[in-house]
Amino acid sequence: MFNEKEVVSNVLNGDLQAFGQLVKQYEQFVFYIIDKLIDNENDKEDIAQEVFIKIYNNLEKFSFHSKLSTWIASIAYRTALNYVRYYKKYDRYITNEVNEAFSFTTETPEQLSEYKDIKQYINQLLDEMPVPYKVVIVLYHFNELSYK
């Protein structure tokens, strides 16, 4: 069983194997968050590596006021979002203007019923949402994290 406090303590004491345990425990979770924001596979790996470097460098700041997974999720989200903002030069999801004509879908109900896979349809809708809303929905409903 994974004991967060023990692993964090061991990492802070210089145990690199403990950090390996932490990476192994949370790597799929980090990739899941990044995957929802980033399309390029190579970029996903680079961002995940950057996330774990940030975790390692800032672990002494983690105070157990929340779950370790929540803290890691926020680092992964902010790192991926920064990538979208600064390296992709305002991806199509990032905008400061309110678009009153924004619509999540243009298909008719008949077209929507033709989707064979509900998961595909949900992912399509999520992809059309602005990034901040998309991430909140994904983290809350799929990963059971708090809105905060």
Total number of domains constituting the chain: 1
Contact 147, 140 (CB under 8 A): yes
Number of H helices, E strands in the chain: 7, 0
Confidence bin at 12 (pLDDT 50/70/90)? very high
Tell whether 84 is covered by a domain. yes
Range of the domain at 93: 4-142
- % of residues, the chain, pLDDT over 90: 33
Instruction: Tell me which of 72 and 36 has the higher pLDDT.
Output: 72
Going from the C-alpha of 79 to that of each of 6, 58, 74, 106, the distances in angstroms are 26, 14, 8, 31
* Model confidence pLDDT, tens digit, residues 95-105: 444 344 444 55
- Structure tokens, 115: 């989707």
Residue 18: CB atoms within 10 Å:
17
Tell whether 104 is covered by a domain. yes
Confidence bin at 79 (pLDDT 50/70/90)? very high
Tell whether 148 is covered by a domain. no
Average pLDDT, the chain: 78
Q: How many angstroms separate the CA atoms of 145 and 29, rounded?
A: 12
Tell whether 58 is covered by a domain. yes
Tell whether 147 is covered by a domain. no
Q: Which CATH number fits the domain that encloses residue 20? A: 1.10.1740.10
Is 85 a residue whose pLDDT tops 50? yes
- The dihedrals phi and psi of 127, each to the nearest 5 degrees, come to -65, -25
Tell whether 13 is covered by a domain. yes
* Model confidence pLDDT, tens digit, residues 63-75: 888 889 889 999 9
